[in-house]
């Protein structure tokens, strides 16, 4: 029975399926039936008489490839025997095994797994006598991460370190030495890692013309899924296999390229029409996931992208409810508001059909505490659960000992960083403290100076006011050098989590309540639970998933987009794509939280925030705005008739018109103005075009972009 294209596919999908000759790029917007299109194209090729053995399907997971092949077989009603479907790495491995002698492995090679590679890095480091006695030396996993990122991004380790791990820069020379030694060790022992598979295949295809011609003749039809996630070497492999005008179909969405940190290069998909002459671009724009108001908003997010394939997502799913932009008074009240929203949404949706998304794992910590407090289960993806984070447990062990000096587990945790003090010694110290054995304590503290320091600190903690925030303030200062020494590889990231812990503590007056709410014991069954648990997820971990209701939190500068991303244009572009991915996870309900202030532990006060540029760019007609009132509820705000203002730093391309809600200050007139967060102020200077120094009572002098100010 012939395939029913008319009823099973929309017009754009049909065009993609039936365009079988020459290069084709399918730009598949979020929720537009990308997998369905690939599956039907597989079936269509075979139905047209193409030998299944002449089809090569490259994906990023074996599961995805297998699912596509199985579905195509179901449509055809017969097996696709001979079709090559799998990951880039599995295809490379099979090809290299058959041609091992051509890449210098006369007797074959052994493929290593991650653990093997880490162990070799350690062996090379030890043989080079590097890091001896340095407890802060990067761990073997971190050494391998830097080497593999350098290879996948095809950039020196120095460049990777500067962007992602500046705190490791004292070890740059060592890392370069280890990377060289690691490569030499592999070659010497006929070993290959996962990165080698791709680079060796690329080299083989480039240098072995007969083999390249043979593979091009065999694989007459090539399909690549998630093309926006390919790195430079993967794109070269596709080009070598397809030839300049080969029958290659790449499917992906430039707007969902969010894995630059793994080496993905968005230019691969953007440059596809240039790389493959005569390449046809087909856009899948009908969305089958989200209601139209959500798509109207996501289309506006994409409109601000500097470089993109134009697309306009639309849906037959209608709704008269707009997405909501909610302004909590602070990040401290944000968690309570999100819980309120979840309780409301729970009346309509199952808990596991509600998701809260965030840019970084630590941002959900206050929410985790709030959910635990009222007994709502949650499941977290991306980032570690708050009460499971080792550095959080470390710090809380001091608090537990202030509250209960008989807590043996807390003693074990608090003494864990002291070299030479293991579980048996901890037990002796515990016994000596509680039996008053001053002789033993004098002896052991003389032997271990850090132990003396810790005991003095605990004594000091017991003598101050027992407010969680005050205690944590002091503990943080004491723990900082321990954090750096104990977790040298990623302490800046862990520091952010501890800042959140301090912030949570600020809202407590009772220490027992604070420790109880943090639920230190956790639930070992949590990770298995799927049903009836709210999903908390980083946006990266949410890609490819969907929920009826989605709440995105912390949509302010320095949090989303992240502080690092604000420094470079290409990083900010990726943050925009991340925002698009976050919003397109929602099927029916989308809420975005923009806290108006963020707690500053140093001052003990809240600092005003600037909303995320992606929120500021949105025209007023695509969302409803709600402000948290001082009484704790939400008040709907009417919009001004014009569009919301946009900071010039993040302005949309000139083709998109932007109206400003308020008149810009006249540079010749240094009078009074109003800012939505700082309130009324006096303009005192204009340091550069469209930037003004304003004195705000209570906040001091601030330098503000003119678009954020309203003349009075």
**Cross-strand pairs, 247:** 221
Q: What does 637-698 look like in DSSP terms, one character per residue?
A: EPPPSSPPP--GGGPPPTTS----SSPPPPTT---EEEETTTEEEEEEEEEETTEEEEEETT
Strand 378-381 relative to strand 534-538, pairing: parallel
- State yes or no: 30 annotated in a binding site: yes
Segments in 19-77 forming alpha helices (H) = 34-47, 62-76
CA angle 231–233–234, rounded 5-degree value: 65
Measured CA to CA, the distance from residue 332 to residue 326 in angstroms comes to: 14
User: Taking Cα atoms as reference points, which of 510, 412, 405, 498 lies closest to residue 458?
Assistant: 405
- State yes or no: 252 annotated in a binding site: no
Q: How far is CA 259 from CA 256, 262, 535, 578, 607, in A?
A: 9, 5, 22, 10, 32
- State yes or no: 516 annotated in a binding site: no
- State yes or no: 28 annotated in a binding site: yes
Measured CA to CA, the distance from residue 388 to residue 385 in angstroms comes to: 5
Segments in 248-291 forming alpha helices (H) = 267-270, 272-275
Which of helix, strand or coil describes residue 702? strand
The phi and psi torsions of 333 (rounded to 5 degrees) equal -85, -15
- State yes or no: 59 annotated in a binding site: no
Measured CA to CA, the distance from residue 563 to residue 278 in angstroms comes to: 41
Which letter does DSSP use for residue 10 in this model?
-
Measured CA to CA, the distance from residue 343 to residue 376 in angstroms comes to: 9
CA angle 210–214–218, rounded 5-degree value: 175
- State yes or no: 586 annotated in a binding site: no
Measured CA to CA, the distance from residue 461 to residue 543 in angstroms comes to: 45
Instruction: Summarize the annotated binding site as residue ranges.
Output: 28-35
Question: Annotated binding site for ATP: which residue ranges?
Answer: 28-35
């Amino acid at each position: 029975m012939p395939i029913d294209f008319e009823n099973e596919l929309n017009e754009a999908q049909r065009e993609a399926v039936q365009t079988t000759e020459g290069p084709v790029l399918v730009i598949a917007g979020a929720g537009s039936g990308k997998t369905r299109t690939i599956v039907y194209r597989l079936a269509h090729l075979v139905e047209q008489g193409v030998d299944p053995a002449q089809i090569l399907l490259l994906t990023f997971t074996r599961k995805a490839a297998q699912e596509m092949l199985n579905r195509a077989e179901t449509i055809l009603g017969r097996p696709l025997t001979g079709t090559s479907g799998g990951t880039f790495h599995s295809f490379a491995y099979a090809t290299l095994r058959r041609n091992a002698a051509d890449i210098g492995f006369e007797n074959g090679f052994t493929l290593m797994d991650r653990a093997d590679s880490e162990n070799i890095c350690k062996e090379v480091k030890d043989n080079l006598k590097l890091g001896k006695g340095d407890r802060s030396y990067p761990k073997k996993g971190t050494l391998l991460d830097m080497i593999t990122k350098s290879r996948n991004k095809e950039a020196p380790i120095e460049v990777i370190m500067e962007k992602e791990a500046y705190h490791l820069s004292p070890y740059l020379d060592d890392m370069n030495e280890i990377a060289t030694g690691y490569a030499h060790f592999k070659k010497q022992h006929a070993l290959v890692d996962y990165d080698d598979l791709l680079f060796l295949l690329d080299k083989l295809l480039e240098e072995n013309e007969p083999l390249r011609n043979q593979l091009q003749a065999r694989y007459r039809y090539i399909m690549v899924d998630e093309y926006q996630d390919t790195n430079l070497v993967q794109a070269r492999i596709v080009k070598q296999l397809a030839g300049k005008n080969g029958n290659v179909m790449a499917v992906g969405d430039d707007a969902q390229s969010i894995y630059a940190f793994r080496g993905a290069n968005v230019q691969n998909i953007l440059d596809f029409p240039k790389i493959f002459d005569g390449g046809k671009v087909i856009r899948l724009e009908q969305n089958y996931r989200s209601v139209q108001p959500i798509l109207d908003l996501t289309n506006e997010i994409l409109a601000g992208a500097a470089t993109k394939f134009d697309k306009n997502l639309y849906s037959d799913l209608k709704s008269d409810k707009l997405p909501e932009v909610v302004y909590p008074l602070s990040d401290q009240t944000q968690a309570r508001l999100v819980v309120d929203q979840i309780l409301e949404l729970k009346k309509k949706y199952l808990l596991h059909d509600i998701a809260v998304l965030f840019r970084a794992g630590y941002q959900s910590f206050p929410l985790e505490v709030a959910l635990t407090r009222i007994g709502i289960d949650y499941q977290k993806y991306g980032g570690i659960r708050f009460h499971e984070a080792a550095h959080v447990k470390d710090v809380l062990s001091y608090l537990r000992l202030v509250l209960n000096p008989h807590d043996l587990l807390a003693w074990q945790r608090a003494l864990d960083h002291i070299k030479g003090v293991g579980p048996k010694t901890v037990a002796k110290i515990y016994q000596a403290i509680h039996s008053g054995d001053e002789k033993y304590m004098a002896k052991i503290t003389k032997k271990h100076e850090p132990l003396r320091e810790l005991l003095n600190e605990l004594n000091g903690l017991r003598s101050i006011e027992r407010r969680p925030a005050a205690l944590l303030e002091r503990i943080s200062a004491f723990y900082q050098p321990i954090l750096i020494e104990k977790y040298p590889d990623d302490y800046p990231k862990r520091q952010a989590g501890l800042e959140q812990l301090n912030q949570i503590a600020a809202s407590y007056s009772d220490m027992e309540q604070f420790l109880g709410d943090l639920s230190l014991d956790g639930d070992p069954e949590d990770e298995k639970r799927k049903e009836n648990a709210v999903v908390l997820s980083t946006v990266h971990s949410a890609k490819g998933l969907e929920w009826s209701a989605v709440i995105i939190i912390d949509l302010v500068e320095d949090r989303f987009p992240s502080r690092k991303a604000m420094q470079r244009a290409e990083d900010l572009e990726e943050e925009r794509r991340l925002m698009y991915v976050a919003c397109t996870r929602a099927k029916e309900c989308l809420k975005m939280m923009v806290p108006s202030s963020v707690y500053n532990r140093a001052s003990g006060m809240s600092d005003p925030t600037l909303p995320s540029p992606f929120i500021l760019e949105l025209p007023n007609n695509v969302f409803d705005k709600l402000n948290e009132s001082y009484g704790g509820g939400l008040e709907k705000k009417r919009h001004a008739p014009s569009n919301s203002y946009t900071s010039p730093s993040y302005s949309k391309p000139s083709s998109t018109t932007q109206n400003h809600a308020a008149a810009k200050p006249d540079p010749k007139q240094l009078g009074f103005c109003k800012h939505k967060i700082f309130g009324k102020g006096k303009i005192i200077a204009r340091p550069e075009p469209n930037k003004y120094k304003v004195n705000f009572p209570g906040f001091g002098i601030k330098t503000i972009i003119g678009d954020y100010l309203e003349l009075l």
